[in-house]
Amino acid sequence: MPKSLYIDPNEVLRPGEHQIKFPEIPVMQYAKTVKEELKDGHFTPEDLKRIYRDMFVIREFETMLNLVKTTGGYNGVAYSNPGPAHLSAGQEAAAVGMAYNLDTDDFIFGSHRSHGEILAKGLRSIEILPEAELRKLMEEFWGGATLAVAGKDYKGGSTKELGIRFLLYGAMAEIFARTTGFNKGLGGSMHTFFTPFGIYPNNAIVGGSGSIAVGAALFKKVNRKKGIVVANLGDGAMARGPVLEGMTFASMDQFKTLWEGDMKGGLPILISVMDNQYAMGGQTRGETMGYMYPARLGAGFNPEAWHAERVDGYNPLAVIDAFRRKKALLEKKEGPALIDVVTYRYSGHSPSDQSSYRTKEEMDAWQAEDCILGYGRKLVEAGVAAQEELDAIQASVKDVMFEMYKLAIDETLSPRMDLVKDNELLGEMMFSNMSVDTLGEATPEVNHPMAENPRVKQIAGKTRFYLDKDGKPVSSMKMYNFRDGVFEAIVDRFYKDSTLVAYGEENREWGGAFAVYRGLTEALPYHRLFNSPIAEAAIIGTAIGYAMCGGRVIPEIMYCDFLGCCGDEIFNQLPKWQAMSGNILKMPVVVRVSVGSKYGAQHSQDWTSLCTHIPGLKVVFPVTPYDAKGLMNSALQGTDPVIFFESQRLYGVGEQFHEGGVPEGYYEIPLGEPDIKREGKDVTFLTIGATLYRALKAADELKEKYGLEAEVIDARTLVPFNYEKLIASVKKTGRIIIAGDASARGSYLNDLAASITEMCFDYLDAAPVVLGSRNWITPSHELEDAFFPQPSWFLDAIHEKMMPLPGYVPVSNQTCAQQILRAKKGI
Amino acid sequence: MANVVIMPKQGQSVESCIISEFKVKVGDTVKAGDILFGYETDKATFEEASQLDGTVLAIFWAEGDEIPVLQNVMVIGQPGESFEEFRPKALSETSGHPRPDKSEGSAAEGSGRGRSEAETVSEGVHFTAVENAGAPVSPRARMLAEQKGVNTAQVAGSGPGGRIIARDVEAAALAQGQLTGLAKARMAEGGVVSPGAGSGLAGAVKGADLKVWKPNHTEGLAGEGSEFQVVKMSNMRKLIAKSMYNSLQNSAQLTHMLGADARKVMALRKKAKKAFEEGRLDVNVTINDFVCYAVIRALGQFPNVNSHCLGDAMRLFKCVNLGLAVDTERGLMVPAVEHADKMDIVSLSRSLKKVADDCKKGSINPDLLSPEAASFTVSNLGGFEVEWFTPIINLPQSGILGVGTIVPRPKMVDGAYQYVPYMALSFTYDHRAIDGGEATRFLKKVAEEIENLEIDL
């Protein structure tokens, strides 16, 4: 809601034009012959033959995999590949045409059916990379391990030929889960990629690349990196939220209206729809979609209709022509763009798909139009190559393919990870655990020195502890609070790391719905802090793309309850790519998530447990200003995805625990260390989130009325989690209540309880008790006390389950009998 | 720097010793070599001499205390030097610890605010010696009970569902007072109850202070009755009781009895006595020594008898380690003479006399008292005119020979009966190890050896 954009009722209510005019979207307009292309100088005969070769490389690669899956071997050499194989035979012209104009600096993202695209892009990079660079890159990859096998029997002197072997072997070894594969075998068929060739992750979640690729484009733009980004998606993926949200994000007007200087202009993102006619078993045109052609979608997103175009994906030259024109557009900052490439997949969705939804007649008709066959005919007709020459190309491709196949299935040359012997190997790959001040080389772009920032000045006048020098409570206006702690860590990083960007639904002028960012607008140019569309999948998805390209990013999810809107991004994308890449990619994304209360069932849920359940995420939930600043500093210093929860109950609290208040300078609190907020000897309270303050009240009552001293520990971080302090506490007290605002059933609280039971069994005087919220909808604010754990619940639990308190009358029902009854009812 | 004196470890099998007497008191000046205290194991007494000159700064125990070996006993140094750091841990915890009676009283009067730990835990818990076996016990309570020597069967649970929880055990521990190691072990075995305060240092409850416990019968099996007096067993008595009981419970014992013509052995004894009196021998070789000598020779031919029965295996000895039952003031002791088969009659006699004397003095090496130390035992009651008896095997040994008195018995000599002195031999063996035939042959062999002893003196 920038004030510079005046919403003029006169114009809005009485527009000059009374209909929306859509630009025309070209369909199948390419009509050049091979001879004409040669005449125009777009290709040499060698180029044209190489296109043929590249297409055949893909065809043979997919044929090999298909034979392995369906006949258990290739060329008589048996191998079993139980993993997936989503083959793209039939789509070769589309893949090669897509890659033909791309430089190594241009990135491609793909789908589960992207073998063709990675091979095409790889072959293209091998063709254009200087030989020395190519050789160096291969020699350095996995310390030369992949090249050593791929080039084992190669006697020729050509670096490019060696490069082709390297590409085929690396991809096959990856698909067959070998450590010499491009991602150590951890990505597999649906995720194979190789960033040195500009090949970024393919995604097994349909449409997953739709927002991630947009983030990669954002990275290129913000950090002034060369190149464009291509997202290869299927026609079926155009139904997916991440694609539509990613397109929405990429279409934002602000790139052209508000971003300043050289930042003005569209994102360099090109969506390439591989329209192979089928989405699983559904037929997109005529059955499961209504767009008729995927190209039509562009019209819904911006006045340029994404410069959309539908082209003949059975003619590589038509595809090349379209990509050449779109790339030029993007380089002029006139993106985004969309190309809808008509193609057809010969195989089913996967080898188990018997194509029962289509006729043999249809398949035969497309095979008669086969893109390799057809293109070969054109080359012969144009006199570029004789049929014998094309046959020779095929024969030589087959030879190399077979050779690489035999190497890739060799258990000795291409071993798998031994996760039985080395039990922790994959575990150690889940996080990168690096400590890096800045990921950029540039000077961070800011609007003024930090000291001149109005918010920084305001905080300077605040008391950094909740009591003043005389021990009197500081007024809320003068007290340094939780949001100041988060702000200080973030503003500090903005002035250190040029790559850092932050965005969310109200991040700029508003300063975030909870005013954490107030003052950042003054400090930062638009391209480092901006408002995003209300599109959580795009907010997180683009952050993932931004981070995997090398930038640091803080996306914001305004309410924890909205995590579901970006479920795939949080659960399937963010946590996975570091390990799935074999640790090639880093994921420095700090997702700020605000946990609400007062706002009812869809705005008051604590979903920390959902995040702890997903391997690969770090989960942090500070509840004091000191912890907020220290943990945010650590999160931003690291290279791992961190879900950073903040409680809306606590933005205004002052620091009550850290002696001397919140330090002015930079400090880090390591992730994973719980903190003892109050010492005691009779019972331990471990809390997650804002429950800490209610636990402290319970501890007060316990002390006053029953003379029992509770040790109150704030988990602070959920993943990772160091149990040592907790074990020491439980050994001392023998009793523990684990409390948090998440609904009790299935929550992380139970994990902690189970672990403590195992680790401290002989020291326990009672089973650990979990106090979570009820398994209900969160009721309205006035009724919340019955839902969230209250101080009295702690005493109730002690009385009922640990040690009866003399004369105590329970408030809530914390008995096992009631627990059984509720469980029976599912509540 | 002050020097600490520890309880020495006398032999591998000794875990704790009892202080029999302190020869010094705090403030005394001692010189190296001065005796500091006397102490005893179950079967022997020892004295500990000072290693250096100095002043006794502290004594951590009282006479009669049972002290784990290597535990600090006292501190010797220069006046003014600190010694608290040497105080054994269990005792430091005790110091200043409220006595149960005091804390219970104040807890009852407590207002609920600012109470001490001891008061807090005892509140609402009425420790009584109740029968509570089978009640649920929290893991922590179980662990505490073990540490503090609380028998949870005597504790009423105050936790949910009557569960015995930590505070119940703490209260019980407080009520039963500070226990010595021995007392804790006894409590753990069950059947006894602590009186709360005992005769040990700082009121510590010693093993001897424990009362027999019967659920709902908490008062007085110990003490005086109109018709009887209950006297506690000594430690040694209990040890003997335990091992004898174990022996009969855990083996298959029976006794064969046989007389041996003692004329030859009596003649030898006469010769030996004369030689001793005339100074030709420095040791007075007794009839028992000759019998032992004969037994050793017989054992050489019966490896199954010279053995330990281990239940599912036999330990067959290649030498004879001969156990000798010795009656002492404190009770029966059985020291071993190792490698007795390598000795002539004179050195055997000397060795037997030495171990018997050491036992009577209490200076015997405790390792020699272990039942494992001997491969066979001889028990001689001949001197007390007992003729036949059924000795009990010192397990795991496979046999024991009881030697009775010599009585005249008629014997056909040269076609006419005449009275001949006969020695009564009672051989108890473990039927698990040895069958009757072999036992008979062994006993007969012993008799033959005795009857045919040829020794030059």
Q: Which of B113, B120, B140 sits opposite A765 (nearest CB)?
A: B140
pLDDT tens for residues B69-78?
788 899 998 8
Does the pLDDT of residue B256 top 90, yes or no?
A: yes
Judged by CB atoms closer than 8 Å, whether chains meet at B158 and A761 is answered as no
Q: Tell me how crowded residue A612 is: count the other CB atoms within 10 A of its CB.
A: 21
What's the alpha-carbon Rg for chain A, to the nearest Å?
30
In chain B, residues 154-183 whose CB comes closer than 8 Å to chain A: 158-160, 163, 165-167
Q: Can you read off the two tokens belonging to residue B404?
A: 């009775």
Q: Does A801 touch chain B (CB under 8 A)?
A: yes
CA torsion, ordered B238, B244, B248, B251, to nearest 10 deg = 120
Q: Does A762 touch chain B (CB under 8 A)?
A: yes
**B interface mutation test: which of A765, A769, A801, A802 has the most B CBs within 10 A?**
A765
pLDDT of residue B100: 34
Contact B421, B263 (CB under 8 A): yes
Non-local CB neighbours of A685 within 8 Å, separated by 6+ positions: A695, A698, A699, A710, A711, A712, A713, A736, A737, A739, A794
Does the pLDDT of residue B111 top 50, yes or no?
A: no
Q: Point out the catalytic residue in the list A115, A191, A527, A603.
A: A603
Judged by CB atoms closer than 8 Å, whether chains meet at B166 and A762 is answered as no
Q: How far is B132 from chain A (nearest CA, A)?
A: 18
pLDDT tens for residues A715-750?
999 999 999 999 999 999 999 999 999 999 999 999
Non-local CB neighbours of A300 within 8 Å, separated by 6+ positions: none
Q: How far is A671 from chain B (nearest CA, A)?
A: 31
Q: How far is B124 from chain A (nearest CA, A)?
A: 7
d(CA A791, CA A798): 11
Q: Can you read off the two tokens belonging to residue B237?
A: 């008595």
Non-local CB neighbours of A219 within 8 Å, separated by 6+ positions: A225, A499, A545, A546, A549, A550, A551
Does the pLDDT of residue A434 top 80, yes or no?
A: yes
Q: Does A761 touch chain B (CB under 8 A)?
A: yes
d(CA A788, CA A811): 14
Q: How far is B54 from chain A (nearest CA, A)?
A: 42
Q: Tell me how crowded residue B342 is: count the other CB atoms within 10 A of its CB.
A: 11
Phi, psi of B243 (to 5 degrees): -75, -35
pLDDT of residue B231: 74
Which residues in B lie closer than 8 A to residue A802 (C-beta atoms)? 159-160, 165
Q: For residue B67, what pLDDT band results from cuts at 50, 70 and 90?
A: confident
Q: Which of A92-96, A426-430, B379-383 has the lowest mean pLDDT?
A: B379-383
- Candidates A686, A762, A718; CA nearest to A614 is A718
What's the alpha-carbon Rg for chain B, to the nearest Å?
28
Q: For residue B12, what pLDDT band results from cuts at 50, 70 and 90?
A: low
Judged by CB atoms closer than 8 Å, whether chains meet at A764 and B142 is answered as no
Which residues in B lie closer than 8 A to residue A801 (C-beta atoms)? 160
Q: Which of A762, A764, A803 sits opposite B167 (nearest CB)?
A: A803
Q: Which of B140, B160, B163 sits opposite A734 (nearest CB)?
A: B140
pLDDT tens for residues B222-236?
455 567 777 767 767
pLDDT of residue B131: 52
Judged by CB atoms closer than 8 Å, whether chains meet at B159 and A804 is answered as yes
Q: For residue B454, what pLDDT band results from cuts at 50, 70 and 90?
A: confident
Q: How far is A824 from chain B (nearest CA, A)?
A: 22
pLDDT of residue B101: 34
Which residues in A lie closer than 8 A to residue B143 (C-beta atoms)? 762-763
Q: For residue B43, what pLDDT band results from cuts at 50, 70 and 90?
A: low
pLDDT tens for residues A220-248?
999 999 999 999 999 999 999 999 999 99
Which residues in B lie closer than 8 A to residue A708 (C-beta atoms)? 120
Q: Which of B112, B120, B124 sits opposite A705 (nearest CB)?
A: B112
Q: Does B136 touch chain A (CB under 8 A)?
A: no
Q: Does A177 touch chain B (CB under 8 A)?
A: no
Q: What's the ipTM? A: 0.77
Q: What percent of chain B is predicted at pLDDT more than 90?
A: 40
d(CA A62, CA A694): 61
Does the pLDDT of residue B108 top 60, yes or no?
A: no
Check whether the bond before B79 is cis (ω within 30° of 0): no
Q: Looking at residues B246-254, what average pLDDT do you find?
A: 88
Which residues in A lie closer than 8 A to residue B167 (C-beta atoms)? 765, 803
A603 is catalytic: yes
Q: For residue B445, what pLDDT band results from cuts at 50, 70 and 90?
A: very high
Average pLDDT, chain A: 96
- Candidates A588, A287, A325, A200; CA nearest to A431 is A588
Q: For residue A822, what pLDDT band results from cuts at 50, 70 and 90?
A: very high
**Cα of A761 vs its chain's centroid, Å:** 40
Q: Looking at residues A483-506, what average pLDDT do you find?
A: 97
Q: Looking at residues A623-648, what average pLDDT do you find?
A: 98
pLDDT of residue B201: 75
pLDDT of residue B42: 66
More confident residue, B200 or A757: A757
Contact A594, A689 (CB under 8 A): no
Q: Does B143 touch chain A (CB under 8 A)?
A: yes
pLDDT of residue B90: 56
Non-local CB neighbours of A716 within 8 Å, separated by 6+ positions: A620, A621, A622, A623, A627, A631, A669, A673, A674, A675
In chain B, residues 55-114 whose CB comes closer than 8 Å to chain A: 112-114
Q: Can you read off the two tokens belonging to residue A753?
A: 């309880």
Q: Does A727 touch chain B (CB under 8 A)?
A: no
d(CA A104, CA A125): 6
Does the pLDDT of residue A419 top 70, yes or no?
A: yes
pLDDT of residue A527: 97
pLDDT of residue B224: 54
Judged by CB atoms closer than 8 Å, whether chains meet at B139 and A761 is answered as yes
CA distances from A551 to A440, A467, A532, A640, B254 (A): 7, 40, 18, 12, 91
pLDDT tens for residues A144-183?
999 999 999 999 889 999 999 999 999 999 999 999 999 9
Does the pLDDT of residue A129 top 80, yes or no?
A: yes
Q: What percent of chain A is predicted at pLDDT more than 70?
A: 100
Size of interface A-B (CB pairs under 8 A): 54
Q: Can you read off the two tokens belonging to residue A329?
A: 């557009």
Does the pLDDT of residue A499 top 70, yes or no?
A: yes
- Candidates A406, A373, A365, A368; CA nearest to A391 is A373
The answer to whether the Cα torsion of B243, B247, B248, B254 is positive or negative is negative
Which residues in A lie closer than 8 A to residue B163 (C-beta atoms)? 766
Q: Can you read off the two tokens belonging to residue B37?
A: 């205290």
Contact A398, A58 (CB under 8 A): no
Q: Can you read off the two tokens belonging to residue B257?
A: 């009895």
pLDDT of residue B221: 44
Q: How far is B152 from chain A (nearest CA, A)?
A: 14
Q: Can you read off the two tokens belonging to residue A780?
A: 């309205």
Judged by CB atoms closer than 8 Å, whether chains meet at A707 and B141 is answered as no
Does the pLDDT of residue B104 top 60, yes or no?
A: no
pLDDT of residue A235: 96
Check whether the bond before B88 is cis (ω within 30° of 0): no
Q: For residue B147, what pLDDT band results from cuts at 50, 70 and 90?
A: confident
Determine the residue of chain A that is closest to B141 in CA distance: A765
Which residues in B lie closer than 8 A to residue A765 (C-beta atoms)? 138-141, 159, 165-167
Q: Looking at residues A784-804, what average pLDDT do you find?
A: 97
Q: What pTM, to 2 d.p., does this model score?
A: 0.73
Q: What is the DSSP secondary-structure string of B297-328?
A: HHHTT-TTTSEEE-SSSEEE-SS--EEE-EEE
pLDDT of residue A559: 96
In chain B, residues 378-407 whose CB comes closer than 8 Å to chain A: none
Does the pLDDT of residue A336 top 90, yes or no?
A: yes
Does the pLDDT of residue B129 top 70, yes or no?
A: no
Check whether the bond before A242 is cis (ω within 30° of 0): no
Does the pLDDT of residue A298 top 50, yes or no?
A: yes
pLDDT tens for residues B331-371?
888 999 999 999 999 999 999 999 999 988 888 888 888 88
pLDDT of residue B218: 36
